[in-house]
Amino acid sequence: MKTKRILLVACTLALLLIPTPAQADIAPPAQPPGSNLQPGAEVTQVRMVAETVLLDVSPGSSSKSLGQAHVTADFTMRNLGEAAESMAVRFPLGASDGWSGIKEIAGIRVKVAGRQVLTHRIMGEDPYRSDHQVPWSSFDVTFPPGEDVAVHVEYTLEASGEYPFIWFKYVLSSGAAWNDSIGSADIIVRLPYEPSDENVLFDSPGFTAFGTTLGGAIDGKTVRWHYEDLEPTTQDNFEVNLVMPSAWERLLAEQDNLASNPADGESWGRLGKVSKELAFSSRGKGFRAGGEFDPGAARLYQQSLQAYDKAVTLLPKDALWHAGYADLLAYHAYFERFNGTDTTEEALHALREIRTALDLAPNDPKVQEIAELISWSFPDGMKLNDKTYDYLWLTATPSPVPPTPELVELVPSETATPIPEPATPTAPSVASEATQAATPEPASKPSLPVCGSALLLPLGLVVGAFALSSRRKTG
């Protein structure tokens, strides 16, 4: 198994280092976006005076769906000309999934002036890729001069994404084919939970995995975007990135349980695990968008730290929670070094936690897997010697630490959900006294290099991907 993993890492590094033409990132198959109405091929005097689009996100998910939203789109259309216009209005049903397939929205229904109309399936250009032919829904509408005509479209939209994050898209640029600008536009996302920057991924510049459209305003359980006199281009197309409802519900359930059972070590561990999953990227790149840009991720990381600490204090003999805690600390310590942060203490804490986990369960496959990942992340601090690990940073006399940028403490906001303290006395240490006595702590901190070699950053991305897999399966 270890040989296969080493070969996989070597192959991945080779692929990363071979120059290739610039292309889009490989991503999961995309679901079709929602879209504005579009007139037929003819030039029209009909203007889209107003539109309101509601994406009502469903709670939970299933093995066949990452998430769904029921979409209702209401358009007010006005003929600015002097003659009536009758045309076949179009609405895209599908888009290329990026894997030579076409995925479609489901259950489309259309009403014109309050009456349901028949729709016809036609083929047309892909709203995202002009070289693909995709299905569209076509329906006939007559627009009398100077009158408003209401058009209502509703359908089910599947989410795209990778656990634990999903996203929905809506194409505004197709509305540019109508006369003049879009007078006003409102896009509303209604969530099954209270939105915050912990579960809605706002403002993530330079981070290609996520790109929630800027300008959303939270109101109750909704987030609203408003536009006036919009001349939409592809740059205006809408996207919202969310935590999967099922994942957020798990977090809320653990918080609710701890409110009444604060001495439940297993619940603390599960809260630490789900908070960890939500704090980091699903592509092995550290924080979702970096703590500087994503304060919600920073608070989730702090919550995960606190929860794991409670778990291993209440359950000091549980190897998996110690291993999960080590995974959290090592993953964060590794990636934050590239931001110039001194993460020495986190790395040392990670080594202590994984040492405790291995002492408690040396043959547990998950503990071994996380230990191997940590040794890859910090090869100078933890090395495999035959069948056991040497913890060089914990046993050797290290050199002094060079100057590093000041570490900014990440403090949860006042509005964050409070986590109760355990009602019962707890053990004073996360590691056994025997282990601590056998391995004295160094007198000074070791130096963690920002980059050990030219291959360290690509290797880190590979390690991060493996670390994500381990976090999904264990503590």
Q: How confident is the model at residue 288 (pLDDT cuts 50, 70, 90)?
A: confident
Residue of higher predicted confidence among 301 and 417:
301
Mean pLDDT on 51-66:
87
Mean pLDDT on 28-35:
65
Report the pLDDT value the prediction gives residue 295, as an integer from 0 to 100. Answer: 85
Q: How confident is the model at residue 25 (pLDDT cuts 50, 70, 90)?
A: very low
pLDDT in tens, 188-210: 999 998 999 899 987 554 333 45
Q: What angle do CA 182, 183, 184 make, to 5 degrees?
A: 95
Residue 2 pLDDT greater than 60, yes or no: no
Q: How confident is the model at residue 270 (pLDDT cuts 50, 70, 90)?
A: very high
Ordered by where they begin, the domains of the chain are 34-243 (2.60.40.3680), 245-473 (1.25.40.10)
Tokens 């198959």 — which residue? 29
Mean pLDDT on 49-77:
91
Q: Tell me the three-class secondary structure of the chain, residue by residue.
A: CHHHHHHHHHHHHHHHHCCCCCCCCCCCCCCCCEECCECCCCCCCEEEEEEEEEEEECCCCECCECCEEEEEEEEEEEECCCCCEEEEEEEECEEECCCCCEEECEEEEEEECCEECCCEEEEEECCCCCCCEEEEEEEEEEECECCEEEEEEEEEEECEEECCEEEEEEECHHHHHCCCCEEEEEEEEECCCCCCCCCECCCCCCCCCCCCCCCCEEECCEEEEEEEEECCCHHHCEEEEEECHHHHHHHHHHHHHHHHCCCCHHHHHHHHHHHHHHHECCCCCCECCCCCCCHHHHHHHHHHHHHHHHHHHHCCCCHHHHHHHHHHHHHHHHHHHHHCCCCHHHHHHHHHHHHHHHHHCCCCHHHHHHHHHHHHHCCCCCEEECCEEECHHHHCCCCCCCCCCCCCCCCCCCCCCCCCCCCCCCCCCCCCHHHHHHCCCCCCCCCCCCCCCCCHHHHHHHHHHHHHHHHHHCC
Weakest-pLDDT range from 94-103, 126-135, 163-172, 337-346: 94-103
Report the pLDDT value the prediction gives residue 274, as an integer from 0 to 100. Answer: 97
Residue of higher predicted confidence among 53 and 450:
53
Residue of higher predicted confidence among 91 and 132:
91
CB of 36 closer than 8 Å to CB of 46:
no
pLDDT above 90 coverage of the chain, percent? 49
Residue 286 CB contacts under 8 Å (≥ 6 apart), including other chains: 280, 331, 332, 334, 335, 336, 338, 464
Residue of higher predicted confidence among 152 and 423:
152
Weakest-pLDDT range from 45-54, 203-212, 277-286, 351-360: 203-212
pLDDT in tens, 419-447: 444 333 333 333 332 333 333 333 345 55
d(CA 466, CA 6): 12
Look over the chain and give the mean of its residue pLDDT values, rounded to a whole number.
77
Q: How confident is the model at residue 10 (pLDDT cuts 50, 70, 90)?
A: very low
pLDDT in tens, 361-385: 999 999 999 999 999 999 999 999 8
Report the pLDDT value the prediction gives residue 36, as an integer from 0 to 100. Answer: 81
Residue 5 pLDDT greater than 50, yes or no: no
Mean pLDDT on 245-263:
96
Residue 84 CB contacts under 8 Å (≥ 6 apart), including other chains: 142, 143, 144, 145
CB of 72 closer than 8 Å to CB of 118:
no
Weakest-pLDDT range from 42-46, 320-324, 383-387, 438-442: 438-442
User: Which of these, 350, 319, 364, lies nearest to 448 by C-alpha position?
Assistant: 350
pTM score: 0.75
Residue 115 pLDDT greater than 60, yes or no: yes
Weakest-pLDDT range from 187-191, 269-273, 342-346: 342-346
pLDDT in tens, 380-418: 999 998 889 999 999 864 443 333 333 333 333 333 344
